[in-house]
């Protein structure tokens, strides 16, 4: 994902603060939770982005949702973002923070899209191959897309391997559209 300067600065500042206080693992879990809440609940994100709702009201809502589940330092950070009117960046900040955490631990994120859900042996095979290619630990994010018909599409960093049936059919179609027959008579 592309991040804004604001997103990166706040995520890096919170990452540095968490590192100094020895809370990196807990802050990572909190930012993953925040990201999951933002992904699953669009109304929560709309509430954060709504300029009509006063910051005090947003703080109360955030406190009621997260006070028992996240560390007080993470909650203070979220409240600071609301107080500074940067709450609309919280979903992106959470994602940028998790990317910083993964980079610090040497973890790469790979995205695998398949027509059906992968079984454990297939996941293990993909993880093994990608691990050998990158010499890093791989965090596998799976997606299913029935329109692929079969096969896999694997994305890692700026590299993509498309071994789906749909792509193979399209390649065959292009090959058949070429007229290799030349009339000599």
The predicted structure's pLDDT at residue 67: 93
Between 181 and 28, where is the model more confident?
A: 28
| Rg of the chain, C-alpha, whole Å | 22
Residue 7 CA to residue 1 CA, distance in Å, equals: 11
Question: Hey, CA dihedral for 85, 89, 95, 96, is it positive or negative?
Answer: negative
Distance between CA 165 and CA 151 in Å, rounded? 6
pLDDT band at 182 (very low <50, low <70, confident <90, very high): low
- Distance separating alpha carbons of residues 74 and 110, to the nearest angstrom: 27
Domain boundaries, the chain: 5-103, 106-177
Task: In whole angstroms, give the CA distance from residue 68 to residue 79.
Answer: 15
Report the 10 Å Cβ neighbour count for 151.
Answer: 15
What CATH number does domain 5-103 carry, 1.10.520.20, 1.20.1740.10, 3.30.56.10, 3.40.50.880? 1.10.520.20
Q: Residue 141 in contact with residue 112, Cβ under 8 Å?
A: yes
Among 99, 105, 161, 151, residue whose Cα is nearest residue 130: 161
What confidence tens digit (pLDDT) does each residue in 87-123 have? 999 999 999 999 999 999 999 999 999 999 999 999 9
Rounded to whole angstroms, how far apart are CA atoms 88 and 111? 26
pLDDT, tens digit (0-9, with 9 covering 90-100), for 128-169: 999 999 999 999 999 999 999 999 999 998 899 999 999 999
């Amino acid at each position: 994902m592309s991040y804004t300067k604001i997103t990166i600065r706040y995520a890096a500042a919170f990452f540095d603060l968490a590192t100094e206080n020895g809370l990196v693992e807990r802050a990572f879990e909190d930012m993953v939770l925040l990201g999951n809440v933002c992904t699953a609940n669009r109304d929560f994100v709309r509430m954060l982005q709504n300029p009509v709702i006063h910051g005090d009201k947003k703080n109360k809502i955030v406190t009621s949702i997260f006070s028992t589940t996240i560390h007080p330092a993470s909650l203070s950070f979220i409240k600071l973002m609301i107080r500074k009117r940067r709450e609309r960046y919280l979903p992106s900040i959470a994602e940028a923070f998790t990317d910083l955490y993964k980079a610090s631990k040497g973890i790469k994120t790979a995205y695998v899209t398949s027509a059906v859900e992968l079984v454990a042996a297939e996941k293990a095979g993909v993880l093994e191959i990608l691990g050998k290619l990158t010499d890093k630990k791989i965090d596998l994010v799976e997606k299913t897309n029935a329109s692929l018909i079969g096969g896999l599409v694997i994305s890692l960093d700026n590299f993509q391997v498309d071994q789906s049936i749909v792509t193979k059919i399209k390649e065959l179609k292009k090959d058949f559209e070429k007229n290799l027959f030349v009339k000599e008579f």
